[in-house]
Amino acid sequence: MLSPLKGKTMLLSDNAAATHAPQLTYKGRWTAYDIRDDFPILSQQVHGKPLVYLDSTASSQKPNAVIDAMNVYYRTYHANVHRGVYRISEEATAAMEKARVKIARFINARQSKQVIFTNSTTGSINLVAYSWGYANIHAGDLIVLTEMEHHSNLVPWQLLAQRSGARLEFIPVTDDGLLRLDVYEQLLQQQPKLVAFTHMSNVLGTINPAQQMIAQAHAVGALVLLDAAQSVPHLPLDVQTLDVDFLAFSGHKMLGPTGIGVLYGKRDLLEAMPPFMGGGDMIRTVQLRQSSWNDLPWKFEAGTPAIAEAIGLGAAVDYLNALGMEQVRQHEQEMTTYAMAQLQAIAGLTIYGPSPAQRGGVISFTLDDIHPHDLASILDQETGVAIRAGHHCAQPLMERYELAATARASFYVYTVKEDIDTLVQGLKKAQKIFAL
């Protein structure tokens, strides 16, 4: 079976940025075995053993198509965008804006100008907190969050509350890793200005009922920011169906490069928001004592943007579209179901979060009294397995479960059952090392 992106990178043509990425050659069903050769890092060894990468929730690996697209930019048409009238500058501009269109279509935004390039999910959320929040959140206003938030969707609102005098309230999490929606309904009765929550927990894997929660918030006049860092790479997502006001996600978690993030917003909200940062490219006119602002999306993109990274993210979107997001989700459910069954058979291992049907490809766990950092180190050195250990930038959630840290294995399109089998073998070896 052919791999999704095996074509050669084509040379530039006179049609600026028309074909800066490999042509898609794959259609139909695929398996992780079919595409693993597209990810060069997976062929290496660590400590003399094949790398088993189970930390995609932190950052995914990159296919050749993404690496090649960025290399072609740097090798053949690198120039600054939006300013030059010479050929390679126009080609760079066209390639970057073409990537914006791809991303808009990927999440089904009405217009590409609703897609703002930032440096990360964190950058996107901070943009909303500082721009929209500064203009609209005042003393006594309520912002509703959840106990399962990543620090990136917690600390910016803490800072906003400290500056404005607003207050924060939180939707609790059950022992099974689900949100207490009954408490959410009670909090909505207090007329919050904003509800901000994660679509999918980076610790528990919980997939929250976003469409329902957004509709409930809108019914009481609240706006909603959805942290989609973990959902956009793994689930089909439609911003129009969700009717979400703001959506934030990162490129590096969805096969793209680091240093690039996306903020989607409803156009009327973005139009009304003041700039987040001042400088070049975000202006229309500049005088000594005042300036006027550029149109969307550039009003929020001060300075030289991450051009190569945007092009790389566009290539990642092409790759995911070739795979099909429904099939991506199905593959991860299969891997998660298999992994949970294998892990639950290990005596002394505790899994946190809901059933496979209610979670994405993330499993956080503890094993006996072995510290997760020790566990991760043993897995790396003894079996070549890469997992994450720690509080996962979700310290309040760790406190909710009275944990200092957990080990976390996460899966993506290139994960195979043998990876999980190696993880299980490594965990049993760790038990032997600790004589448990």
What lies within 8 Å, CB to CB, of 394 at 6+ separation is 148, 149, 150, 151, 201, 202, 203
What lies within 8 Å, CB to CB, of 116 at 6+ separation is 124, 127, 262, 263, 264, 265, 270, 296, 297, 300, 301
Tally of CA atoms within 13 A in the half-sphere of 316 that contains its CB: 29
Question: Whole-prediction pTM value?
Answer: 0.93
pLDDT at residue 21, as a whole number = 42
Place of tokens 């290496």: 44
The 3 state secondary structure assigned to 151-170 is HHHCHHHHHHHHHHCCEEEE
Q: In percent, how much of the chain has pLDDT > 70?
A: 93
Of 314, 318, 335, whose CA–CA distance to 414 is shortest? 335
Q: Provide mean pLDDT across the span 36-57.
A: 97
pLDDT at residue 1, as a whole number = 31
Q: In percent, how much of the chain has pLDDT > 90?
A: 88
Q: 382 and 338 in contact (C-beta within 8 Å)? A: no
Q: What share of residues in the chain are helix, strand, coil (percent, to 5)?
A: 40, 15, 40
pLDDT at residue 436, as a whole number = 66
pLDDT tens for each residue of 380-404: 999 999 999 999 999 999 999 999 9
- Residue ranges of domains in the chain, CATH in brackets: 87-321 (3.40.640.10), 325-433 (3.90.1150.10)
8 — pLDDT class (breaks 50, 70, 90): very low
pLDDT at residue 15, as a whole number = 38
Of 364, 122, 385, whose CA–CA distance to 252 is shortest? 122
User: And the tokens for 157?
Assistant: 């609102």
pLDDT at residue 84, as a whole number = 83
The mean pLDDT of the chain is 93
283 — pLDDT class (breaks 50, 70, 90): confident
Query: Measured between alpha carbons, how far is 317 from 253 in angstroms, rounded to an integer?
Result: 12
27 — pLDDT class (breaks 50, 70, 90): low
- The H or E element that residue 137 is part of is none
pLDDT at residue 26, as a whole number = 53
11 — pLDDT class (breaks 50, 70, 90): very low
Catalytically active residues are 393
pLDDT tens for each residue of 66-125: 999 999 999 999 999 988 889 999 999 999 999 999 999 999 999 999 999 999 999 999
Q: Which of 48-57, 298-307, 332-341 has the lowest mean pLDDT?
A: 298-307
Query: Measured between alpha carbons, how far is 100 from 310 in angstroms, rounded to an integer?
Result: 8
Q: Provide mean pLDDT across the span 399-418.
A: 97
Distances (CA, A) of 153 to 19, 52, 220, 268, 330: 37, 30, 22, 23, 28
